[in-house]
Copies of this chain bind each other. A is one copy, B any other.
């Protein structure tokens, strides 16, 4: 189970590299198998390329092994995606999570295929491992089964997995059935146990930022009789959080857990939760027995 780590900002919206590294270390200590930094939840699309590179190097300099890092590198512009992907490979990251170019719509399978193929060819490094990032609710442009099949045929051992944030279990199940050995991560723990039982690789979920230990317990126990109960517990927390905008909601919870209001800062176009929404969210979590008074182990 990988965590799409939240990116903390200072009050002036500058990235806070120190708090970011501390948060990432805490996630790993709590049981995350890896970190899908610079995903949607990380507000990566609100970071420029230089910020992404600096933050990645900050993590590695701070003692986090690149072997647990899967940075997001897919941008709208081919040169940005190539540069970030090459940088991640050079830093030793075990893989990259690649959005398709998402500005131009209606580009068809050929356009999506050509985009990913061009990046792989230009990076030209056998160490590269690409996880496709399928998130139609945000990107609109996504990966069809046809494109995935073509990429797997053209780049075996390079294109190795996919994060499915479609929110559509039928799509996730279809991928698991159609492409055995392909590492499929649902984008939500709602489908974690179902995915594991069909050969899924785990999940990459926004709410792991605040509930990573519970998901780790499920990952450890999924073949035991406790699995269904653990699944219900993480799903209930997820359901409570996803009634609110995902990024500000997770940041509000972290701000509460850490007693650190600075965690509420988001970059536009996102906005922090209003007080009323935050109170409703925290009350809803408390009613589920979600501990909001845990000792803060990180910044």
Taking Cβ atoms with an 8 Å cutoff, the residues of A that contact B are 13, 40, 45-49, 51, 76-80, 83, 100-108, 110-112, 114-115, 118, 137-141, 245, 267-271
Closest to A103 in B: B45
A233 to chain B, nearest CB (A): 28
B-side contacts of A100, CB under 8 Å: 269
Instruction: Tell me, in angstroms, the Cα distance from A204 to B46 when the chains sit together.
Output: 28
A115 partner, pick from B51, B78, B108, B269, beta carbons under 8 A: B269
Which secondary structure characterizes the binding site on chain A?
Answer: loop
Quick check: B270 and A111 within 8 Å, CB to CB?
A: yes
How many angstroms between the C-alpha atoms of A141 and B140 in the bound complex?
A: 12
In the complex, given contacts A111-B269, A112-B269, A115-B268, what are 5 additional A-B residue pairs having Cβ atoms less than 8 angstroms apart? A46-B101, A47-B77, A48-B80, A49-B49, A105-B138
Contact A78 B46 (CB under 8 A): yes
Copies of this protein in the assembly total 2
- 21 contacting pairs across A/B (C-beta < 8 A): A40-B103, A45-B103, A45-B104, A46-B76, A46-B101, A48-B49, A48-B77, A48-B83, A49-B49, A101-B268, A102-B103, A104-B269, A105-B138, A107-B271, A110-B271, A111-B268, A111-B270, A114-B268, A114-B271, A115-B269, A141-B269
Instruction: Compute how far the CA of A80 lies from the CA of B114 in the bound complex, rounded to whole angstroms.
Output: 26
Determine the distance from Cα of A118 to Cα of B141 in the docked complex, in whole angstroms.
28
Q: Which residues of B contact A49 (CB under 8 A)?
A: 48-49
Q: Kindly report which residue of chain B lies nearest to residue A114, judged by CB atoms.
A: B268
- Chain B nearest CB from A152 CB (Å) reads 19
In-complex Cβ contact of A101 among B45, B79, B80, B140 (8 A): B45
B268 in contact with A78 (CB, 8 Å): yes
A174 to B112, CA, bound (A): 36
Residues of B within 8 A of A108 (CB): 271
Across-interface contacts of A270 in B (CB, < 8 A) = 104, 107, 111
**How far does the alpha carbon of A100 sit from the alpha carbon of B111 in the complex, in Å?**
24
Chain B contacts for A104, CB-based, 8 A? 40, 45-46, 138, 269-270
Q: Measured between alpha carbons, how far is A13 from B77 in the docked complex, in Å?
A: 12
- Chain B's nearest CB lies how many Å from the CB of A110? 5
- Find chain B residues with CB under 8 A from A137 CB: 105
Q: Contact between A78 and B13 (Cβ–Cβ < 8 Å)? A: yes
Residue of B nearest to A43 (CB): B104
Instruction: Please tell me if the beta carbons of A139 and B103 are within 8 angstroms of each other in the complex.
Output: yes
Is there contact, CB below 8 Å, between B77 and A46? yes
Cα A108 to Cα B13 in complex, Å, equals 20
- CB-CB nearest in chain B for A116: B268
CB-CB under 8 A from A141, the residues of chain B are 269
